[in-house]
Structure formats: C-alpha cells, structure tokens
Structure 1
C-alpha cells in the first residue's frame, strides 16, 4: 500500500480540483489544443471523466502489467526504474488535468505551448531508466528480435536509452520553434525514435545470430 501513496495523492488532488472548480466551469470546456489555440471541446462531464479516467486507468494498468506478464519475475530486477517511469507518466497526466481545469476557469497558463518540454522531459526520464529494463512483454522496446534473445534486448535498450535522451533534448528544444511546428516536431521525433530503435534491434539480432 505504501508504494501507492504518492499516486493516491496525485489522483486525489486531481479529483478534488475537478470537484471544487465544477460549479465555475462552463458546460463545454477545451480539451485539445493546437499550439496555444483550443481546437477541441467536450462537455465538462465527459472531459472530467475522460481525463480522470485516463489517469486512474493508466496507473492501474501499469500496476497490473507486472502481475500478468509471463516474464513477471524480471520486474523485480528493475522495480525502481519501472516505478520512476510510472510516476513520470502520472505527473504528465496530472499536469494535463490541471491545465484543462485552469483553462476552463479562464486562466491561460500556456502549458500547451510547453507540451514539447513536458514530453521531452518524459523521454529523458524514460531514456535514463530504459537500459535497466529487463526482458518483458509490456515495457521497453518489444520487437520479435529483442524478445527472442536476451543479449539483443540488452544491447537494444542500452542503445535506445541514448536515443531517447537525444530525442528528449530535441523535444525540449521545440519550445523555441514556431508554435505551429511543435506538434509536428513531437510526432516526427516520436516516430523517428520508434523506427530507429526497431531497426537497431533487427540488426543487433542479425549480428548476434550470424
């Protein structure tokens, strides 16, 4: 139970913030932005249920995964790294909730202008702990080649940790780009990272086998 206290605090603060602000929110609130400009709206009930639901659901999922993974024993070997990644995701979702509430109350925090920074920091955290991840079916670079060979898994995650750190720095730097570019930079960097790490795992496997 002790390990869940911080998560419970974050989730409780989020729910309390929604409850307190509820009477002051318009019936329709902004839930999606393009740069600093809202371009997606939802009824406030849907917005609250969606955002809080994603936060709670993600945390529950990340705690259930180690129990149902066929390689669940490996999670004990990188429990600290897994916990840090879990809480990093939770913090990002907490900030997203606070931003939607604040915007709904008429405050322009411009957090969305710094979405690249938030995602970049998340990439930096993941990149820092990725090399410590042991073979499993849910967390990390899970390709047919990493899952079939532990040495390929190890090499791929050492390499991918460096890639994520570099991509995280690029994402953080996106705050200096024109606001209309930010979402494209994030998407391009994320897709690029996925392709690079996947290709590396393939070539690492070929080298290991042959």
Structure 2
C-alpha cells in the first residue's frame, strides 16, 4: 500500500521540482537573452546556433516561437517559478488542498501538451533542434509524469484504491518513462532529420 508520508509530504517529488524548476528557468532565461540579442540586432547570430540543424535562432524568430503574441521563453520564466515554490513549500512541511494540486497538475498538463506541439513543430516544420528548447523538454516531460502520478496516488483525483496503488508503484519508474520518451523523440528526429549524423558533424566541426 502507498505510504501516507508519500501522500502528504512527497520529499523526492519536492526535490525534483526544485531541480527541474532551476534547470527550466535557466533555459528560459538563456532563450530570453538570445531573443533580446536578435531583437537588438536582426543580423546577429544566436550563441546557441551551432549548425543548420542545431540552433535556436530559427525557432525564436518563427511564429511558433511567439504563439501567444510574446516570446515563448517568457512563459518559462514565469511558469518554472511554480515548481520551485511548491518544491520548497513541501520541504517546509506545507500541505496543499486538492484544488491546488488540480491547478498545479493542470499547469503541467498545459506545459506537456505545449512541449509536444513544439517538438512536432521543431522537427517537422522548422527542421531544427534548439539546444535550450531541448533542455526544457528534458525537464518538462518527467515533471509531468511525476506530478500526474502523485495526484493519482495521493487521492486528489477520485480513483479506485487499485489505481492509487499502481500510480504509487509507477513513481519509481518515472526516470525510465522519461528515458523512453527521450528515445522516442530522438528516433523521430533521426528518421526525419538524420539527427545523429548532423549533431555529430556539428560537434566535430
């Protein structure tokens, strides 16, 4: 049976939320800086532009890079503060009402869906792999899995006890689930863009 401690004070989840929040916020900050550079000088080259394939300039200057009328990284600068605050709050023994977890999970659901859409746009329409974008993908995906499973196992969603128990056991498999997700993205990128060869050429060159 899932432990009550894992329900009320998920230490491992809190630590991961802090780590993911720091990494995600830093990636968003770097992308925001690059966007400012390109706005100041449209002829400039972003520091994360390593090749035609591995670059962030094309992503930042595309319409996909400003879906809501402002640069996407601004969402990250604001959004990644939430996991940081929640993570530290849990470590400080804070308890959250079910409605809070619903909103928190909803935020990650939006982030996960948005990331999936951006991955599709990046690979199939823009033909690029943005370094800082990939960092964001790398922390968003496992964070969504972990928060989803915690909401299920903690009883914040009215599901049978068997579902809560399965969700609790699956928490240990979040790293593997993330790795399989990364492998799927890499496979798609390889088929569509011959990513491995092009990335290697970028590093070697």
What TM-score does the superposition give when structure 1 sets the normalisation length? 0.45
Q: TM-score, normalised by structure 2?
A: 0.46
Higher relative contact order (CA 8 A, sep 6+): 2
